[in-house]
Amino acid sequence: MALDSEDEILQDFLVEADEILESLNEQLVALETQPENSDLLNSIFRGFHTIKGGAGFLSLDAMVALCHKGEDVFNILRQGERTVDAEMMDTFLKVLDILNTMFVETKSGEYPSPADPAILAQLASYLAPTVPVIPEPVVTAPVAATVTPNEATDNDDITDEEFEALLNQLHGDGAPGTVTTSPAPAPIATTKSNDDITEEEFEALLDELQGKKKTVAASQQPIIEASIPTAVLTPEIKALSPKVIISPQTANVDTAAKPAAAAKQAETSVRVDTARLDEIMNMVGELVLVRNRISTLEATFENEEMAKAVNNLAVVTADLQNAVMKTRMQPIKKVFGRFPRVVRDLARSLKKDINLELRGEETDLDKNLVEALADPLVHLVRNAVDHGVEMPDVREKSGKSRQGLIVLAAAQEGDHILLTISDDGAGMDANVLRQKAVEKGMMDEETASRLTDSECFALIFAPGFSMKAEISDISGRGVGMDVVKTSISKLNGVIDIKSEVGIGTTLSIKVPLTLAIMPTLMVMLGDQIFAFPLVSVNEIFHLDLTKTHMVDGQKTIMVRKKTLPLFFLRKWLTSSFNPSGKPEIEHVVIVNVGTQRVGFVVDQLIGQEEVVIKPLGALLQGTKGLAGATITGDGRIALILDFPELMNTYANRGY
Amino acid sequence: MPPVRVLIVDDSGFFRRRLSEIIARDPRLQVIGMASNGLEAVTQVSLLKPDVISMDIEMPVMDGISAVRKIMAQHPTPILMLSTWSTEGAKSTLEALEAGAVDYLPKRFQDISDDTNIAHQLLCQRLHDLATNSHTNNLPTAKVSSILHAARPPYATANQTTNGPIRLVAIGTSTGGPVALQVILSQLPSDFPYPILLIQHMPAAFTPSFAQRLDTQCKITIKQAINGEKLVPGTAYLAPGGMQMIIKGTKISSIVEIQTGQSDQTYKPSIDLTLESLIPMCPAETLVIILTGMGADGREGCRQLRPLGATIWAQDKQSSTIYGMPMAIAKADLADKILSLNDIAHRLAELR
């Protein structure tokens, strides 16, 4: 029987489970460094407990069985009867991986397949606190697999004698223990000998775990407690995939005294399908276009009242656009959250010692962007661990601390997000890269020698350019750096690399806040309007065409002592290109394409405009170099350029 | 009748929404609020004054047991614990009951019934019953400690309280029973001269923990009954959950027989079944005590034992958490005495 993956209840569960799995991931990694942190242990215990509860509700028995075991083990851990060791950590992370797999199965509408009995047995073995029990085949008797929950709880399948026998096996001497008959297809005997604990000890333990002081303090201030329910009842602000939750920005503090209002405060968020948000965003986009149109028309009227109204419309539209954009925002934590685990696992397998620092996790960006950035970032971080940070011994020799540092940071800068991945590793040697480029036949020695250092670093994004002689399975993974660059470019993002030998490498990625509405620079080529994504535009200047040079058959210009290739866009994009009779002064727009800067000659500059990207019509579909189309303020159609593709298609150098 | 106002407490948003949906389907119930941890629950209770609370145990900030303790101290309200039916779950559930929660149901509804509709209905029914039937002013909290110091009226001889000499005591109870049993059994002297049969409606996962817990709290020995064991004085035998406890043998040498519960049996263990097994034994020398609980289990057993000379006590309405089973006895005119929990404890302790 398959699950109905569209079922609302299932979706609800998946959203919550997804969130818990993600925090479990972080918490488990954190646990490795602070194994005795009781808050952490409690929290992980509850994580398993809550997933188990939800899975139980939906009869996802395999998930229940696994979570149940995890919960039991963490119950032992949080009661201090056992402490976490590295081997246990590996098991837990394995458990988490299995849970994630089950989660994916469930998401795709299948009942999760039961976990490997070995891992369940492994978990069960942690439940005997003092004696390290080696899981014997007897314990995980195959009969357990066929036991249905009811039979298990009813004790139908196992007689007292059998129980005793199992107990004896586990305890060695038949010590009185309590037997849990697991209500799920799991190894049947879970034994605990922790029942000897006295009431007082238990109480003391409970108080310790729950922070007795806190509750005492609370009871002494009943008045304050009663008057601040809104502060206590934080609305669930969850930013989740695949759905985004909108939570009201204005918590009504005044209604706190009214019980009914307070009750409603308990759940103030509404779950909205992202498709609906996309729809709203699209309509707001249309509104932006209408506003642009009206603003343009208004200019011809010279009517003050009209101008006021139009201004008002502009303000409201901008606010609305902002508000809608915010509903689609998710903290980048969503992506960052998986990195501690990634770095830990990788560093462990490479025998490196690496500390990962996350900064600006709360930075919000568009949900689609968060998802689109996940893979490239994973690749770059893996790269930093694999190629960036050196082995501990090597680091020590070069006078660094044995532990390497990788900093992953996010920050909002105006209308874009800046992401940086920096390591304090060996850095890249520009000369090595030059040599490599020549070896690979990508360019001749002369060209290579003319490359600036940063252009050399950019070479790692070229297709087929691998830094390591043999591709390790770590950085390999089927995604090359060129794919990373392509995906970032697709998001209208730019990548920049800075590296210093012996000091480290910093990669910065700039992406726009949202994909739906794009600030652009409108230009004219002939009588046609084109839109440049503003995020790629570096600078604009007037160019004396007599000051260009030819290098390798490529027209170039010098801008502040830097040589940039120069292209005539009208040659590529309009049919009316007439080389003769061209003016001596042209407008040049310097654009970032990936890590490269190039100049484009345009006929006329119109100005900045926010546009909504519309897909191209059937006739133009698939035209290289065009990202889409939009409607301008004066009602005309403008084509939006896709620079990386444009360069690939028309320029003879493959940046 | 205005609907019963329910407060849902659970740290899982998923579970809160499911409970809310299930409860909303019952016209007799109305969800008036939800809390995601114990502290919120305490605040909500003082603001909203719900008629009944469904309470999770494992929660951040403040767990369910602490919340029960606080709520019962500030605004006594019937609380239904939603717990895990496991050994660990049993421990915390029993603790919650001791803290003042009235009843419990499994969080995994399949543990109630494979038919989800039946399970949901039972949950709603239970919430409704707890809100309408339980005596809020008389919820079990705090009694445990105070009762020990209550004035003890003198009972001269056993003959004044029972119909004759006694050989065996059988106590049957359901909702509210765990705490009531604790109150009674903890007052018995270690040399209590008779074996005691305890039939408490409880799931299989709970009874071992419950027996163990009682044993540490009482002077007499309390254990979960084992198939084939001989009844000895000064020991209480708790019927294992999911099973039936039958007494066989002679009145000199009585043997416990544990039978597997059948799916058509409503109560496992059933008070009626155990009582009926006593008919060929020593009915005239048996004292049956029916304590707090929903339903009428024990009535048929008493109906058969009483003509044979058994003494029957039923708990009174005031001290019962749920006045159901004792009421059934009283209404059928089967009770020799209707006593408060305190009186039952004292009179039993005086038996010689």
Query: At A589, which CATH number?
Result: 2.40.50.180
Lowest mean per-residue pLDDT among A170-184, B131-145, B213-227? A170-184
pTM, entire model: 0.57
| CB-nearest partner of A178 from B46, B114, B209 | B209
Answer for the pair B335, B311: CB distance below 8 angstroms, yes or no.
no
Q: The CATH number of the domain where A497 resides is what? A: 3.30.565.10
Smallest CA–CA separation between B273 and chain A, in Å? 18
Q: Are residues A101 and A188 in the same domain?
A: yes
| CB-nearest partner of B87 from A15, A178, A225 | A178
The verdict on B72 touching A (C-beta cutoff 8 Å) is no
Query: Is residue B164 scored above 80 in pLDDT?
Result: no
**pLDDT of A162:** 55
Lowest mean per-residue pLDDT among A79-93, A312-326, B69-83, B222-236? A79-93
User: Is this complex scored with an ipTM above 0.95?
Assistant: no
Query: Is residue A442 scored above 80 in pLDDT?
Result: no
Smallest CA–CA separation between B156 and chain A, in Å? 35
Cβ contacts (< 8 Å) between B72 and chain A: which residues?
none
Q: Are residues B28 and B162 in the same domain?
A: no
Query: Is residue A264 scored above 60 in pLDDT?
Result: no
Cα angle, residue A627 at apex, residues A624 and A632 outer, rounded to 5°: 125
The most confident of A451-460, B136-145, B218-227, by mean pLDDT:
B218-227
Smallest CA–CA separation between A161 and chain B, in Å? 11
Q: Are residues A506 and A523 in the same domain?
A: no
Report CB contact under 8 Å: A222, B74.
Answer: yes
Q: Which residue has the tokens 């995890």?
A: A70
Query: Looking at the domain assignment, is residue A103 inside a domain?
Result: yes
Mutate to test the interface with B, among A154, A198, A238 (most CBs of B within 10 A): A154
Mean pLDDT of B47-53: 92
Q: The CATH number of the domain where B220 resides is what? A: 3.40.50.180
Interhelix angle B341-350/B177-185, rounded to 10 degrees, is 40
Secondary structure of residue A242 in the 3-state scheme: coil
Cβ contacts (< 8 Å) between B17 and chain A: which residues?
12
The verdict on A222 touching B (C-beta cutoff 8 Å) is yes
**pLDDT of A389:** 86
Report CB contact under 8 Å: A267, B33.
Answer: no
- Give the catalytic positions of B in this structure: 174, 201, 297
Q: The CATH number of the domain where B63 resides is what? A: 3.40.50.2300
The 10s digit of each residue's pLDDT in A365-420 is: 888 788 888 888 888 888 888 888 888 888 888 888 888 899 999 888 777 788 99
**pLDDT of B50:** 93
**pLDDT of B237:** 92
The verdict on A72 touching B (C-beta cutoff 8 Å) is yes
Q: Are residues A390 and A357 in the same domain?
A: yes
Sign of the CA dihedral with A539 first, then A545, A549, and A554 last: positive
Cβ contacts (< 8 Å) between A59 and chain B: which residues?
110
The most confident of A383-392, A475-484, B172-181, by mean pLDDT:
B172-181
**Predicted confidence band of residue A62 (pLDDT cuts 50, 70, 90):** confident
| CB-nearest partner of A259 from B15, B47, B205 | B47
Closest residue on chain B to A57 (Cα): B108
Report CB contact under 8 Å: A232, B33.
Answer: no
Query: Looking at the domain assignment, is residue A458 inside a domain?
Result: no
Q: Are residues A495 and A610 in the same domain?
A: no
List, as one string, the DSSP characters of A118-182.
Answer: HHHHHHHHTTSSSS-PPPPTTTT-THHHH--HHHHHHT-S--HHHHHHHHHHHHSS----EEEE-
**pLDDT of B326:** 93
Report CB contact under 8 Å: A155, B39.
Answer: no
Q: Are residues A382 and A523 in the same domain?
A: no
Tokens at residue A161, please? Answer: 């004698």
Query: Looking at the domain assignment, is residue A457 inside a domain?
Result: no
Q: Are residues B101 and B156 in the same domain?
A: no
Smallest CA–CA separation between A194 and chain B, in Å? 10
Report CB contact under 8 Å: B13, A16.
Answer: yes
Percent of chain A with pLDDT strictly greater than 90? 2
Q: Are residues B185 and B66 in the same domain?
A: no
Residues 12-31 of B with CB under 8 A from A: 12-18
Closest residue on chain A to B33 (Cα): A263
Report CB contact under 8 Å: B33, A210.
Answer: no
Q: Are residues A30 and A150 in the same domain?
A: yes
Q: Are residues A508 and A526 in the same domain?
A: no
**Predicted confidence band of residue A516 (pLDDT cuts 50, 70, 90):** low
**pLDDT of B153:** 46
Smallest CA–CA separation between A12 and chain B, in Å? 6
Query: Is residue A115 scored above 70 in pLDDT?
Result: yes
Residues 6-35 of A with CB under 8 A from B: 9, 12-13, 15-17
Cβ contacts (< 8 Å) between A149 and chain B: which residues?
110-111
**Predicted confidence band of residue B41 (pLDDT cuts 50, 70, 90):** very high
Among A327, A342, A364, the domain boundary falls at: A327
**pLDDT of B288:** 92
| CB-nearest partner of A155 from B35, B114, B204 | B204
Smallest CA–CA separation between A119 and chain B, in Å? 21
Among B136, B167, B200, the domain boundary falls at: B136
Q: Are residues A483 and A523 in the same domain?
A: no
The 10s digit of each residue's pLDDT in B269-314 is: 999 999 999 888 888 888 999 999 988 999 999 999 989 888 999 9
Secondary structure of residue B68 in the 3-state scheme: helix
For residue B70, give Cα distances in angstroms to A11, A210, B32, B67, B100. 35, 14, 20, 5, 10
Report CB contact under 8 Å: B107, A45.
Answer: no
Tokens at residue B327, please? Answer: 């009421």
Q: The CATH number of the domain where A27 resides is what? A: 1.20.120.160
Q: Are residues A120 and A177 in the same domain?
A: yes
**pLDDT of A235:** 42
Mean pLDDT of B186-213: 89
Query: Is residue A436 scored above 70 in pLDDT?
Result: yes
Closest residue on chain B to A44 (Cα): B60
For residue B10, give Cα distances in angstroms to A53, A227, B99. 11, 22, 18
Q: Which residue has the tokens 């808050």?
A: A39
Report CB contact under 8 Å: A180, B66.
Answer: no
Report CB contact under 8 Å: A226, B70.
Answer: no
Query: Looking at the domain assignment, is residue A448 inside a domain?
Result: no
Q: Starting at the edge strand that comes first in sequence, how are the strands of the sheet with B221-224 ordered?
A: B221-224, B235-238, B196-200, B168-173, B286-290, B311-315, B337-339
Q: Are residues B210 and B234 in the same domain?
A: yes
Q: Are residues B320 and B178 in the same domain?
A: yes
The rounded distance, in Å, linking the Cα atoms of A264 and A493 is: 42
The number of helix segments (H) and strand segments (E) in chain A equals 25, 22
Lowest mean per-residue pLDDT among A350-359, A545-554, B216-225? A545-554
The rounded distance, in Å, linking the Cα atoms of B83 and B93 is: 6
Residues 285-324 of B with CB under 8 A from A: none
Residues 94-153 of A with CB under 8 A from B: 149-150, 153
Answer for the pair B164, B285: CB distance below 8 angstroms, yes or no.
yes
**pLDDT of B58:** 86
Tokens at residue A328, please? Answer: 């689609």
Query: Is residue A256 scored above 70 in pLDDT?
Result: no
Percent of chain A with pLDDT strictly greater than 70? 72
Which one is predicted more confidently, A478 or A305?
A: A305
Query: Is residue A159 scored above 80 in pLDDT?
Result: no
Query: Looking at the domain assignment, is residue A261 inside a domain?
Result: no
Smallest CA–CA separation between A219 and chain B, in Å? 8
Which one is predicted more confidently, B142 or A306?
A: A306
Burial of A269 (0-12, 13-18, 19+ CB in 10 A): middle
Cβ contacts (< 8 Å) between B22 and chain A: which residues?
none
Overall domain count for chain B = 2
Mean pLDDT of A442-457: 80
Residue B222 belongs to domain spanning? 145-350
Report CB contact under 8 Å: A150, B36.
Answer: no
**Predicted confidence band of residue A197 (pLDDT cuts 50, 70, 90):** low
Q: Are residues A300 and A396 in the same domain?
A: no
Q: Are residues B54 and B153 in the same domain?
A: no
Q: Are residues B207 and B63 in the same domain?
A: no
Query: Looking at the domain assignment, is residue A251 inside a domain?
Result: no
Q: Are residues A557 and A620 in the same domain?
A: yes
Cβ contacts (< 8 Å) between B205 and chain A: which residues?
153, 180-181, 183
Report CB contact under 8 Å: A226, B110.
Answer: no
Query: Looking at the domain assignment, is residue A81 inside a domain?
Result: yes
**pLDDT of A467:** 52
Q: Starting at the edge strand that comes first in sequence, how are the strands of the sheet with A637-641 ordered?
A: A604-612, A517-525, A528-533, A637-641, A626-631
Q: Are residues B330 and B232 in the same domain?
A: yes
Q: Are residues B257 and B341 in the same domain?
A: yes
Query: Is residue A189 scored above 50 in pLDDT?
Result: no
Among B136, B166, B201, the domain boundary falls at: B136
**Those residues with Cβ within 8 angstroms of residue B300's Cβ, 6 or more apart along the chain or in another chain:** B272, B275, B276
**Predicted confidence band of residue A544 (pLDDT cuts 50, 70, 90):** confident
Lowest mean per-residue pLDDT among A134-148, B90-104, B267-281? A134-148
**pLDDT of B136:** 53
| CB-nearest partner of A199 from B14, B65, B216 | B216
The 10s digit of each residue's pLDDT in B97-146 is: 889 898 888 888 777 777 888 888 888 988 998 888 776 545 444 344 44
Report CB contact under 8 Å: A226, B47.
Answer: yes
Smallest CA–CA separation between A166 and chain B, in Å? 17
Query: Looking at the domain assignment, is residue A437 inside a domain?
Result: no
Cβ contacts (< 8 Å) between B110 and chain A: which residues?
56, 59, 149-150
Mutate to test the interface with A, among B19, B81, B82, B108 (most CBs of A within 10 A): B108
Overall domain count for chain A = 4
Q: Are residues B240 and B118 in the same domain?
A: no
For residue A40, give Cα distances in angstroms to A357, B11, B90, B96. 19, 16, 24, 24
Q: For residue A220, give the DSSP letter.
A: T
Q: Are residues B157 and B131 in the same domain?
A: no
Closest residue on chain A to B269 (Cα): A154
Cβ contacts (< 8 Å) between B66 and chain A: which residues?
210, 215
Query: Is residue A222 scored above 70 in pLDDT?
Result: no
Residue A371 belongs to domain spanning? 331-428+467-512
The number of helix segments (H) and strand segments (E) in chain B equals 12, 14
Mean pLDDT taken over chain A: 73
**pLDDT of A192:** 42
The rounded distance, in Å, linking the Cα atoms of B184 and B340 is: 11
Report CB contact under 8 Å: A153, B205.
Answer: yes
The verdict on B60 touching A (C-beta cutoff 8 Å) is yes
Mean pLDDT of A489-514: 83
Containing H/E element for A423? strand A416-423
Cβ contacts (< 8 Å) between B59 and chain A: which residues?
46
The verdict on A49 touching B (C-beta cutoff 8 Å) is yes
Q: Are residues B284 and B220 in the same domain?
A: yes
Q: Are residues A473 and A554 in the same domain?
A: no
Smallest CA–CA separation between B312 and chain A, in Å? 31
